[in-house]
Amino acid sequence: MSALDALAPPPAPTAEPTGEAGLGPWAAAWRRLRRNPSGIVGAVIVALFVLVAVLAPLLAPYEPATGEWFGEVTPTSVPGPSPEHLLGLDSFGSDLLTQLLYGARSSLVIGVVSTAVGLAVGAVLGILAGGLGGWVDTVVMRVVDILLSIPSLLLAVSVAAVLGRGQWSIMLAISAAQVPIFARLLRASLLAQRGQDYVVALRSLGLRHRRIVVGHMLPNSLGPVLVQATLVLATAVIEVAALSFLGLGAADPAVAEWGRMLVTAQDRLEQAPQLALYPGLAIAVTALGFTLLGEALREALDPRSDR
């Protein structure tokens, strides 16, 4: 076992008898979440981010990446805020606000899809390892170890080299980096359940092992995984930006993307710092939102946080 096993997850929501009688464990967690101010801030940010991403075509004042006002951009200056362009233009002569709003789309899609894929694959591996144990566990966890030993950036570059640049490469790279996290977490979570009294009690009732693992141990192990998924979304948003910053993202300039906006902003950092400021802020705030929400979830699902 590697050192990562020591980072066992907090126990799943084992719902101690609480003052919240009359509520199921999930309902009680939901209630604790709603009472946590930073959780609410996080949830609001995340909700805004999702809304903006989904409604970008309605919210954006112009079409994205038109280069319509390219004539107004000179080698030495980029027009700043004006009544027509609230945040000004970007260096290709498109509306900066429009670009930002559309940029939320790619971040959301890539972040969510890659996290979902990472979670799904990681969960299957984790269930196999933690549920079956024995040699399956050994084999699966060694594969996961190997996956973990490859730096995610290097993996991303190699994937892009094989598949070509683009969203798919980024998604694949990010989810590949997430698989080991989820696999280990779920495995550790399941192992912690294995010795519980209720599992022995279920076995004494003659339930099949698979039924016990999937129907009983898994729901008890989901708390930490849910928390991790939210936190990983924050990292994913940053990684999407980082990978496109390195030029591994979509080659199509018509697709607005926060990371690539930062790249183009580099050349004009002195004359137009807002070009880097806004996408940078967008990335930071979005990541912060997911992190706050994730931490609040962790507290809400942890039975010890009961007050």
Partner 1 sequence: MSQPLPETAAARRPLLEVEDLRVRFSRRGQPPTTAVDGVSFSVDAGEVVGLVGESGCGKSVTSLAVMGLLPERGTQVSGAVRFDGTDLLTLSPGRLAARRGKDLAMVFQDPMTSLNPVLTLGRQLTEVLKAHTDLDRAARRAEALDLLGRVGIPDPRRRLGEYPHQLSGGMRQRVLIAVALACSPRLIIADEPTTALDVTIQAQVLDLLTTLVRESGTAMVLITHDLGVVAGTCDRVNVLYAGRVVESASRHDLFARPRHRYTSGLLAAVPRVDAPEGSPLQPVPGSVRDRLEWDAGCAFLPRCGRGDDACRTGGILLAPTDADRARHAGRPGHPDHEARCVHPAGATT
Q: How far is the CB of 30 from partner 1 (least distance, A)?
A: 13
Structure tokens given for 113: 């899809």
Compute the least distance from the CB of residue 14 to partner 1, in Å: 5
Smallest separation (angstroms) from partner 1 to the CB of 22: 7
CA-to-CA distance for 87 and 74, rounded, in angstroms?
Answer: 17
- In terms of CB distance, is 51 or 201 closer to partner 1? 201
Q: How far is the CB of 120 from partner 1 (least distance, A)?
A: 21
Nearer to partner 1, 27 or 55 (CB): 27
Residue 66 CB, shortest distance to partner 1, in Å, is 52
> If we measure between CA atoms, which residue out of 290, 249, 295, 300 comes closest to residue 50?
290
Which lies closer to partner 1 via its Cβ, residue 35 or residue 211?
Answer: 211
Rule CB under 8 A: say whether 17 interacts with partner 1. yes
Select the residue interacting with partner 1 from 76, 135, 206, 270 (CB under 8 A).
206
**Options 10, 67, 219, 280; binder of partner 1; rule CB under 8 A:** 219
Out of 14, 66, 158, 271, the residue judged to bind partner 1 by CB under 8 A: 14
Among 198, 251, 284, 285, binds partner 1 (CB under 8 A): 198
Q: How far is the CB of 145 from partner 1 (least distance, A)?
A: 23
The CB-of-119 to partner 1 minimum distance in angstroms stands at: 19
Residue recorded with tokens 């050994």: 138
Considering only residues 57, 164, 215, 247, which one is a binding residue for partner 1 as defined by CB under 8 A? 215
**Helices 274-301 + 258-266 axis angle, to 10:** 150
Binding to partner 1, residues 177-196 (CB under 8 A): 196
Span interacting with partner 1, options 1-9, 61-69, 156-164, 213-221, rule CB under 8 A: 213-221
Considering only residues 36, 106, 189, 220, which one is a binding residue for partner 1 as defined by CB under 8 A?
220
Instruction: Report the C-alpha gap between 298 and 213 in whole angstroms.
Output: 23
Nearby residues of 169 by Cβ (< 8 Å), 6 or more positions away: 156, 159, 160, 163, 248
Residue numbers of the site for partner 1 (CB under 8 A)?
12-18, 21-22, 24-26, 196-198, 200-208, 211, 215-216, 219-220
